[in-house]
């Protein structure tokens, strides 16, 4: 689509950057698509388009396990200098954007950048538009259509050098993104999940068929970028934790632990333990889950 100088100026007044195919800012990775978008409408920091990136995708109807994994992996990727790309859908996409932090994430929309979908992500979309980057090939006020989203997925794949699938069923939009990624020659990874969960049928199937690599840790993906994951000691070298806090983290490990179990294993008074847990959550050491359970953050 060709825009006049006046239209470009009007978009700029709305905080929208128009990048046309052939412009210096146009991501070269998109040229590998059979149908590259002719125009990108962007809000936010377009310098993110120049960073090495990994896409994280998965089902909207995800489990708590999937949310935790997506956030953990995205956080580590961002800490190691990668931009995290996803589609701002409910579920795994949302968790990936949140885990990376708004300033380290690119959200590719299946509607215009001025339209909010899903509406539950309005605040997240606004924050990404301020600190990270919103990208769409559709006019800013376009409400979107059902067939836009499979098309959107090709851009999600093409803006990155690797794709991570966290949870997905056998037939889903995630598998469409996977196909785009494989056609582009990207490294594709899947996180294994419980064999009893519908949400993991697709990812477990891909691993079983050797259609992608298995990712049990963020380091499995980082290796494809030639990046050595920062050690826990490096990440926490400025974080001083007490003996009691270390005791709590050791009990949590990688599992969800109910507060009653923490009381029993630490032998602390409930009030003291509750205060410690609140302080540790504020410092990003752990996360409180529904039902008074807790999980350590990577």
The pLDDT assigned to 230 comes to: 63
Looking up tokens 């990048």, which residue turns up? 19
**pLDDT over 90 for what percent of the chain?**
74
DSSP state letters, the chain:
----HHHHHHHHHTT-EEEETTSTTS-GGGGGSSS--SEEEEEE-GGGGGS-EEEEE--SS--HHHHHHHHHHHHHHHHTT-EEEE---TTHHHHHHHHH-GGGEEEE-SS-TTS-SSGGGHHHHHHHHHHSEEEESS-TT----TTHHHHHHHHHHHT-SEEEE-S--SSSHHHHHHHHHHHTT-EEEE----TT-GGGHHHHHHHHTTSSEE-SSHHHHHGGGT-PPPPHHHHTTT----HHHHHHHHHHTTS-EEHHHHHHHH---HHHHHHHHHHHHHTTSEEEETTTEEEE--
pLDDT in tens, 109-141: 999 999 999 999 999 999 999 999 999 999 999
Asked if pLDDT for residue 236 goes beyond 60, the answer is no
pLDDT in tens, 154-165: 999 999 999 999
pLDDT band for 231, please (50, 70, 90 cuts): low
Fold type of domain 234-296 = Arc Repressor Mutant, subunit A (1.10.10)
**Can you give 197-224 as a three-state secondary structure string?**
CHHHHHHHHHHHCCCCEECCCHHHHHHH
The pLDDT assigned to 298 comes to: 60
Distance CA 163, CA 156 (A): 9
pLDDT band for 234, please (50, 70, 90 cuts): very low
The pLDDT assigned to 121 comes to: 95
The pLDDT assigned to 5 comes to: 77
The pLDDT assigned to 157 comes to: 97
pLDDT in tens, 253-293: 867 899 999 999 999 999 999 999 998 887 778 888 888 89
Domain limits, the chain: 5-225, 234-296
Q: What is the mean pLDDT of residues 4-29?
A: 90
Fold type of domain 5-225 = Rossmann fold (3.40.50)
Asked if pLDDT for residue 2 goes beyond 80, the answer is no
Distance CA 149, CA 108 (A): 10
Asked if pLDDT for residue 60 goes beyond 60, the answer is yes
CA dihedral (89, 95, 100, 102) in degrees, to 10, reads 50
pLDDT in tens, 165-197: 999 988 888 999 999 999 999 999 999 999 999
pLDDT band for 238, please (50, 70, 90 cuts): very low
Other C-beta atoms within 10 Å of 84: how many? 29
| Global pTM value | 0.78
Which of the residue ranges 2-16, 27-41, 222-236 would you say has the lowest mean pLDDT?
Answer: 222-236
């Amino acid at each position: 689509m060709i825009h006049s100088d006046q239209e470009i100026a009007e978009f700029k007044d709305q905080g929208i950057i128009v990048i046309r195919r052939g412009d210096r800012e146009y991501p070269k990775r998109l040229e590998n698509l059979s149908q590259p978008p002719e125009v990108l409408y962007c809000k936010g920091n377009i310098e993110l388009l120049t960073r090495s990136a990994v896409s994280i995708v998965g089902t909207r109807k995800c489990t708590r396990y999937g949310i935790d994994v997506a956030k953990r992996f995205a956080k580590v990727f961002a800490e190691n200098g990668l931009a995290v790309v996803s589609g701002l859908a409910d579920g795994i996409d949302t968790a990936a954007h949140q885990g990376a932090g708004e300033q380290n994430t690119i959200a590719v929309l299946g509607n215009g950048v001025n339209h909010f979908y899903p509406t539950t992500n309005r605040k997240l979309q606004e924050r990404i538009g301020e600190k990270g980057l919103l990208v769409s090939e559709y006019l800013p006020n376009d409400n979107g259509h059902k067939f836009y989203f499979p098309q959107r997925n090709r851009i999600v794949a093409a803006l990155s050098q690797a794709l991570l699938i966290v949870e997905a069923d056998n037939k889903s939009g995630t598998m469409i993104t996977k196909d785009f990624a494989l056609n582009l020659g990207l490294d594709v990874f899947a996180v294994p999940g419980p064999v009893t969960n519908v949400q993991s049928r697709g990812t477990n199937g891909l691993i079983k068929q050797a259609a992608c690599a298995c990712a049990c840790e963020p380091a499995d993906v980082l290796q494809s970028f030639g990046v050595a994951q920062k050690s826990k000691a490096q990440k926490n070298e400025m974080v001083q934790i007490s003996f009691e806090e270390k005791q709590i983290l050791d009990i949590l490990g990688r599992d969800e632990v109910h507060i009653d179990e923490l009381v029993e294993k630490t032998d602390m008074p409930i009030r003291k333990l509750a205060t410690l847990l609140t302080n540790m959550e504020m410092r990003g050491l752990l996360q409180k889950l529904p039902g008074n359970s807790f999980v350590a953050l990577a």
